[in-house]
Structure 1
Amino acid sequence: MKKIVFLSSVVALLLSVATACSFVIKTQEEVSKDFLSSAEKISQDLDQIFQYAGTTADKAEIIEINMSHSADDTTDIKNDISAVIIDPADKNLIKRYFWFDNKDMRNSYKTEEVTITDFAGTEVIEGYDKYKDMITTYADFKPYIDNYDTYCQEALKAAGYEGNGYVRYFSYSKERGGSITIGYRGKDVSKSFDIAEDKKHIKK
């Protein structure tokens, strides 16, 4: 098993509110519904991330996709979507490109260099040939987007948090597949569910 380590923040670029990724905070509940509960919004944001990285969804060589949303603090609702991909300019490098939004940095993009080690952290894995078995494509990820609304509905119901539940986290990689986490609003409590192998429903 391999472990991804984020090395250093390289650059942050603030975007104007006129961009496709402009994000307006309304109320806590509306942000939750508009953000990680919206497959269309996620797809649009990923397209912008790939564009920022200098590639497109159909060409990106993806290692991992992560999305998170914090709705517990009404004074600072935090959101981010990231894609760990092979650098289009140098296939021997891996970078994490992500969009994030909080009270200090609105509608921003950021890049981090990434290194991969074995799970023990003792051996650094370098070079495109050694990354190949980890690479997936947007075509592989797309069924998760297509069925994302179903995951949200099923996970919110399975968590049993009633009206206090919200979609807190979603992640995907070739090695682990997909998983979704439901948070309990106002408490540091959550439940996670893996996505079934057919990519149509959560595992129960």
Structure 2
Amino acid sequence: MKTILELLRGGLVVSCQAPAESPLHRAEVIAAMAEAALLNGAVGVRIDSPDHIQAVRAGSDRPIIGLWKQVIPPSAVYITPQFHHAAAVAQAGGDIIAIDATDRPRPGDETLADLIQQIHDRLGKPVMADIDTLDNALKAIDAGADCVGTTLFGYTAATQTEAPPGLALLQDLVQQCSVPVICEGGIASPAQARQALDLGAYAVVVGTAITGIDSLVKGYVETLT
């Protein structure tokens, strides 16, 4: 588990995802995005859903941070919320399982610690805890998370008045966390990615600024009309 994380150290992970309604939301398109990212120096990719993970894995042995976004009302937790989602991600070829590790109510009876332990014991995979606050990062580490990411900063009730990237949060995490800290969310330029590494991030995940064609085009159109 440690070896996979070491492959990410100091590098760029590209999140290759697309909205469900987008024509880009096809396994072969996501796989092509991932291939392009890896050919141009990315150390790994972050991929959503078993089908897309399987398509990326078929063409590469490089590290995949896998997740499965599933909405299970009334819970607001949607990033790999339960063990059977994590198992599907692992079976598809995910190397690191990303999960929501905020303090929001979880669907079903599994606690965060239960989920992490099952991923370790039954799947043999490391866990990336997607968090929003320092407190939740520390709780996730206590529960057994192998690394933490700033993924959900700005996207929960506790942080909704904040805008990613959470560089101040990143600094606090680097100082107080005993596991690798990955900066993810809101990185909009190579300079910001460099800044995150300089602040102590173990690796940087960039999505929209590289692969978010839908939202990027909308932004241009809204500004021009």
TM-score w.r.t. length of structure 2: 0.22
As a proportion of its length, which structure holds more helix? Answer: 2
As a proportion of its length, which structure holds more strand? Answer: 1
TM-score w.r.t. length of structure 1: 0.24
